[in-house]
Amino acid sequence: MTRVGIAAYGITPFSTDDNKIETELFKSVKNLFEKNPQINRDVIDTVLVSTNNNSKYLGPILAEMADIQPKTAHSIESLCNSGTNSIVSAYSYIASGLAEMVLVSGAERYDSPGQILEWDNSRGEFKHPIFWASIFSKSYKREFSISEEQLALVSVKNHRHAKENPNAISKKTYTIEDVINSKKLTEDLRLLDCSRPCTGSASILLASEKITKEFSEKPVWISGIGQKTTSAGFTKNISFNSMESSKIAGQTALNMANCGIDQIDVAEIHDAFSVCEPMALEALGFSKPGEGMKTIEELENTNEFKINPRGGLIGSGHPLGATGIAQTIEITQQLQSDANKRQVDNAKRGLVHNMSAAATSSTVLVLER
Amino acid sequence: MTRVGIAAYGITPFSTDDNKIETELFKSVKNLFEKNPQINRDVIDTVLVSTNNNSKYLGPILAEMADIQPKTAHSIESLCNSGTNSIVSAYSYIASGLAEMVLVSGAERYDSPGQILEWDNSRGEFKHPIFWASIFSKSYKREFSISEEQLALVSVKNHRHAKENPNAISKKTYTIEDVINSKKLTEDLRLLDCSRPCTGSASILLASEKITKEFSEKPVWISGIGQKTTSAGFTKNISFNSMESSKIAGQTALNMANCGIDQIDVAEIHDAFSVCEPMALEALGFSKPGEGMKTIEELENTNEFKINPRGGLIGSGHPLGATGIAQTIEITQQLQSDANKRQVDNAKRGLVHNMSAAATSSTVLVLER
């Protein structure tokens, strides 16, 4: 089976712009082609759009805007996980031989309909994700005796990282006190514990081994893929302080990549809310149960391993359909030593963790240079 | 590479029911499992939902309703072509080795937002598909000297076929005069020339060669796949009386299946409007340019080759996301000799043609027993 590589990417600043979805989508595609004039559009035979936007036929619309006449073009939606699901789908088109080169383009508007979980009646009146995040925070703090101040470090770190990411929506740094004193949304959640809905776009071009080597001087390969859906309603989670779907997806991805978690040099973790970062680190095996915050604290003074170097969702902003693609671009830049001040020393292998709706589904990718 | 087969299917009557999309989706999945109790749900590792509905996270929702915990679950949208695009995506998951068995489930409500082409500014005020269909009809009739009466035969035939399809929305037969005298929607289009938006659901289970043989006594294989997107806006079509994307998709599918069009015994053709059927027959090579209606007339008295035996979109109804899956189920039933009064004699190889938005994109599948 052919290896699947990342031949190019494009990304533009996340914002609160009121762009039409087509306009926003096209921004990162334009950026991709401007940075990679060597790419031959005739080779692109699939266009996948990742979004929660209600507009229809965005695949063919984007293809027409980008002057591509692909075989396949459609949209993919799975809430926050849409971007990584689209990358896995692109991988399957190439690995199966149906496609040589796939453009995966994600975009969202700040007012995305994917932010309200209308469908989950188990949430009662609490259809906004902050309610599951509150329950997770309360449960996690209680189970592992973690304080509000400790959890606040996630937000402090990720806002600090985001300052070095020119595409991040946040430009400010905050102290632990700033987080604790920010607006109280629920008993267990402050405003600065939350990722911000925003407008954003990110695009990635995947290709077969041959084509990737032809178009990219520093190819990055997708060596591991893991996905798991445990349910849709979050009350079906077996626990509110662990992420079962992320655990299974992570193990599957590491098995496929034939490596251990200790061989990962840099990771993008889905931190929609502060508590998600330690919980995901534990699910993926970076930390023992309850020790995710300890890991984060220990990493504060090292440059050998970084979690969420681009600032995570909390610092970068969270344009749902674009998030998984932006995460994958960050790891690609790290492995290509193109991450500037965010650069991890000698990064050879990176991991992307993305998930939807209280980790009822997760996708994990392992990337290698 | 493993062959990909159809291990099972489920389909329920198309209607004007006001069901929630989740309820409708689940109907055909329930039907699939009731008819195939031998299917082990633990083997299903991907769930793809084909729909234009605006509800989010339907992949995981359907998985939870059906008691499946897949790796991958998401929704796919490409207007009318969504169902066949989803089947091709399922094929790629299996052929790439990422999945063993994929449930593809399509559903739509009668009030689908996919019916209004909000995005195509080239349509001016005419955002409903009847306007491109009118232009196609006018152009086709003028170019090939075809009369309104001749085109009406498509509707007469497909309504007649639908009478033998227990899942079709239409239960009536009509004469050429009935079609001509039905409500005039535009200068070139009568009500009975149009497929009817409706509520409907259809599900199909694709699997690797090994698993298909394990679960199905009469396996049907997907031997050819062709897809092409030429644009999104229909005014970019190079002609209004031919279907370029269908032509390319058809050739690709036949090449992959290593067969000629004369080896196809039965075909499902996307007849959203009467004129689409002869145009598609010409694009696919069943007829010479301008002779699609001649082919349809010649086939009236034979049982050796049938076009749209289930009644097409005009007779069956057109629940967008379910249509491509329902078409594929019809060909499967034909190849399994399970089509009852609709059965074509000795059908060994069948073709599915689906398309979106004035044939700006098309998908063609070749199925073999």
**φ and ψ at residue A144, rounded to 5 degrees:** -115, 15
Q: How far is B89 from chain A (nearest CA, A)?
A: 7
CB pairs under 8 A between A and B: 183
Name the residue facing A64 among B22, B55, B236 (closest C-beta).
Answer: B236
Of B60, B78, B88, nearest to A231 by CB-CB distance is B60
Find chain A residues with C-beta within 8 A of B81's C-beta.
74
Q: Do A229 and B98 touch (CB under 8 A)?
A: no
Over residues A205-238, the pLDDT tens digits come to 999 999 999 999 999 999 999 999 999 988 788 8
Across the interface, do B79 and A57 touch by the CB < 8 Å criterion? yes
Query: Which CATH topology does A4-113+197-215 take?
Result: Peroxisomal Thiolase; Chain A, domain 1 (3.40.47)
**Enclosing H/E stretch for A326:** helix A320-335
Nearest CA of chain B to the CA of A145: how many Å? 32
Residue B119: list chain A partners with CB under 8 A.
22, 55-58, 61
Measure A197 CA to nearest chain B CA, in Å. Answer: 16
The 10s digit of each residue's pLDDT in A153-199 is 999 999 999 999 999 999 999 999 999 999 999 999 999 999 999 99
CA angle B152, B244, B116 (to 5 degrees): 65
User: Is residue B55 left, alpha or beta, with left meaning phi > 0 and alpha meaning psi from -120 to 50?
Assistant: beta
Could you report the per-residue pLDDT of A78-90, keeping only the tens digit for each? 999 999 999 999 9
> Per mean pLDDT, which range of A8-17, A265-274, B296-305 is the poorest?
B296-305
> What is the rounded CA–CA span in Å between residue B42 and residue A195?
35
Among A47, A54, A70, select the one facing B54 at the smallest CB separation: A54
For chain A, give the mean pLDDT.
Answer: 95
Predicted pLDDT at A50: 98
Cα distance from N-terminal residue to C-terminal residue, chain B? 18
The predicted structure's pLDDT at residue A302 = 80
Q: Residues of A with CB below 8 A from B232's CB? A: 57, 60-61, 63-64
To test the contact with chain B by mutation, choose from A23, A48, A52, A56 the residue with the greatest count of B C-beta atoms within 10 A, namely A56
What is the C-alpha separation between A206 and A48, in angstroms, rounded? 11
- Pick from B73, B99, B227: which is nearest to A78 by CB? B73
pLDDT on residue B120 = 60
Q: 3-state DSSP call for residue A229?
A: strand
For residue B119, the model assigns a pLDDT of: 60
The predicted pLDDT at position B170 comes to: 96
* pLDDT score recorded for residue B50: 98
Contacts of A72 in chain B (CB under 8 A): 85, 88-89, 227, 229
* Preferred mutation among B78, B229, B236 to probe A, highest tally of A CBs within 10 A: B229
Residues in chain B: 369
pLDDT at A117 over 80: no
Which of A55, A74, A249 lies nearest to residue B119, judging by beta carbons?
A55
- The share of chain A scoring above pLDDT 90, in percent, equals 90
CB atoms A228 and B78 under 8 Å: no
- Contact across the interface for A60 and B356, Cβ inside 8 Å: yes
**DSSP three-state, residue A4:** strand
Q: Say whether A56 and B52 touch across the interface (CB within 8 A).
A: yes
Instruction: Inform me whether the pLDDT recorded for A313 exceeds 90.
Output: yes
Residue spans of the domains in chain A: they are: 4-113+197-215
d(CA B258, CA B193): 35
Q: Is B85 on the interface with A (CB under 8 A)?
A: yes
Which residues of chain B neighbour A229 with C-beta distances below 8 Å?
A: 47, 59-60, 63, 69-73
pLDDT of res. B302: 80
Check B52 against A54: CB less than 8 A apart.
no
Q: Which of residues 105-144 of A touch B (CB under 8 A)?
A: 113-114, 117-119
Q: Which of B58, B89, B356 sits opposite A89 (nearest CB)?
A: B89
A324 and B CB contact within 8 Å: no
Count the neighbouring beta carbons within 10 Å of the beta carbon of residue B250. Answer: 26
- Residue matched to tokens 């004035």: B358
Note the pLDDT of residue A353.
Answer: 98
User: Is this complex scored with an ipTM above 0.90?
Assistant: yes
pLDDT score at A235: 79
The answer to whether B238 contacts chain A (CB < 8 Å) is: no
Which residues of chain B make contact with A93, given a CB cutoff of 8 A? 89, 92, 96
Show the tokens assigned to A117: 């979980």
Q: Is the pLDDT assigned to residue A275 strictly greater than 90?
A: yes
Give the β-pairing of A101-108 and A46-50: parallel
Query: Chain A contact for B89, CB < 8 A?
Result: yes
Q: Which of B55, B92, B360 sits opposite A98 (nearest CB)?
A: B92
Bridge-based pairing state of the strands B306-307 and A184-186:
unpaired
Half-sphere exposure of B269 (CA within 13 A, CB side): 32
Contacts of A230 in chain B (CB under 8 A): 69
Task: Identify the residue with better confidence: B125 or A277.
Answer: A277
Q: Which amino acid is at A326?
A: A
**Per-residue pLDDT at B113:** 87
Residues of chain B positioned with their CB less than 8 A from the CB of A256: none
d(CA B218, CA B8): 10
Q: CA-CA distances (angstroms) from residue B358 to A240, B230, B239, B369?
A: 49, 11, 11, 31
State the first-to-last Cα distance of chain A, in angstroms, to the nearest integer. Answer: 18
Query: Residue A100 and residue A285: Cα distance in Å, rounded?
Result: 34
The percent of chain A in helix, strand and coil, each rounded to the nearest 5, is: 40, 20, 35
Torsions phi, psi of B226, nearest 5? -140, 135
The CATH homologous superfamily for domain B4-114+197-215 is Thiolase/Chalcone synthase (3.40.47.10)
Predicted confidence at residue A131, as pLDDT, reads 87
Do B80 and B270 form a contact (C-beta atoms < 8 A)? yes
Q: Contacts of residue B225 in chain A, CB cutoff 8 Å? A: 98
- Tell me which residue in A64, A119, A236 faces B57 most closely, judged by beta carbons: A119
Best of B77, B222, B230, B247 to mutate (most A CBs within 10 Å, chain A): B77
| Mean pLDDT by groups of 10 residues along chain B of 369 residues | 92 96 97 96 97 96 96 98 98 97 97 75 66 94 97 98 97 97 94 96 98 95 98 86 97 98 97 98 98 95 88 98 98 98 96 96 98
Q: Is A361 on the interface with B (CB under 8 A)?
A: yes
Q: Write the DSSP assignment of B190-218 as a string of letters.
A: EGGGBPPB-BEEEEEEEEEHHHHHHH-SS
pLDDT at A124: 55
| CA B266 – CA B252 distance, rounded (Å) | 18
| Residue A197 DSSP one-character state | B
A64 → closest Cβ in B54, B228, B231:
B231
